[in-house]
Amino acid sequence: MAKLLHIAAKDFKIVARDKAAFLILLGMPLALIFILGSALGGVGESESVDIAVAIVDVDEGSSGADFAERITEVEDLQALFNMEVRSDAEAVRAEVERGDLTAALVLPSDFSERLDAGEPVTLEVLQDPGSEIAAGIWSGVARAAAANLSAGQVIRVTVADALAGAGVPAGAQDEQTGGHDHEIELDAVVVEEAEVDTDTRVGMIDFYAAGQTAMFLLFGSMFGAFTFVKERREQTLARALTTPTSKFQIVGGKSLGILGVAAGQFLVLYIGTMLIFRVDWGNAPAATVVVGIAEAWAATGLGMALAALGKTERSIGGIGPAVIMLFGAVGGSMIPAEFMPAWMAPIQSVSPSYWALESFLGLMRGEAASTVIGPVAILLGIGAALYAFGVWRLRYE
């Protein structure tokens, strides 16, 4: 056992001291997590949304300004939108066309005049077609505000007509109906909030942290295979076999070294992404670590298979990245697996990255730790199959 651990420690130190290995195993995944997460979802997840919209007030009276003010004062809307009140309709229209503004609400110049006369008013909503969902939300807000205003207008005109029919003078009618002060309220509908059980949303930075970790864990296998082939080429293995060291101890020690590299890589990425990018790996850290160690074992099996297939470092350098990138791509490390065509399912089933990533994402969404039992068993099985193949091929050399 001591010899096995000594060989494993030696191989671990060789990889740990290799600057190229350090950059590939740790530098590249952290860089890709930051770049992809920042570009596609932002580093960290903000609790508020900042949708840029505008209210264009070209009303010649005072009701337009009052209407715009009532909308911008709603706290719930302030948390969702970055609202500006503007007066240049053409400039706002151009900004919406460029995508600088998500949407805009345009109040016409005769807004006050039509309200005073009890006539219908047409409001215009400008929407960026590239932001259909966000613009649609603002359009809904505009409709709700318009409906609320219309209801107030109907009430005011109805009361005024009733007072006029009763012979109440015009001045007294203004006192009863509020005159021309059209107060706009957007809280006519009361919303009762209730908590429901839903899956936790996985942010883009979290997704890419899990995805890149699942893929780059397999790169440790390539460097483990490098050391195996190099020692075989330099006759180091042959000399080791002349010592009182069995083949089992040599192969087991080198395998344990690959496992140690992959496990150490996972722990660094797991802790590092939490500290640097505030990645939320879920509330079951023990289950997450178990999945990581299971994939590290699969990487060990892959390393033994690469060592058996590749006769030189160059051949492993060609085969290894191609296989690992294929596993990562079909496993969802770059594009979510659910977007993959159905014919890729057989390839996904043999990809260690797929099973690891699905487990990581499930735990991030709040699934029970017991849900990873199946994927962990599959990862262990993949690792055992690859390991057995590698040992079988090496037996004839």
The answer to whether 284 touches 44, Cβ cutoff 8 Å, is no
Residue 186 placed within a domain: no
pLDDT in tens, 289-336: 999 999 999 999 999 899 888 878 888 888 999 999 999 999 998 888
Q: Are 379 and 301 in contact (CB under 8 A)?
A: no
How far apart (Å, rounded) are the C-alpha atoms in residues 172 and 334? 71
Higher pLDDT, 178 or 82: 82
Per-residue model confidence as pLDDT tens digits over 355-376: 999 999 999 989 999 999 999 9
Please list the residues that pair with 56 across neighbouring strands. Answer: 86, 106
Of the ranges 17-21, 136-140, 148-152, 290-294, the best mean pLDDT one:
290-294
Sheet holding 103-107, edge to edge: 81-86, 51-57, 103-107, 124-127
Please report, for the chain, how many H helices and E strands are present, in that order: 18, 4
Mean per-residue pLDDT, 144-151: 74
Indicate if 357 and 373 belong to the same structural domain: yes
Mean pLDDT of the 180-206 span: 53
Q: Which two tokens stand for residue 251?
A: 């192969």
Whether 213 is in a domain gets the answer yes
* pLDDT of the residue at 340: 82
Same domain, 295 and 156: no
| Structural domains of the chain, count | 2
Domain co-membership, 229 together with 340? yes
Cβ–Cβ < 8 Å for 180, 64: no
Residues 58, 110 contacting (CB under 8 angstroms):
no
Domain that holds residue 166: 51-177
pLDDT of residue 59: 87
Give this prediction's pTM.
Answer: 0.60
pLDDT band at 166 (very low <50, low <70, confident <90, very high): low
DSSP string, 195-252: ----PPPPPHHHHHHHHHHHHHTTHHHHHHHHHHHHHHHTTHHHHHHTSS--HHHHHH
Structural domain contains residue 193: no
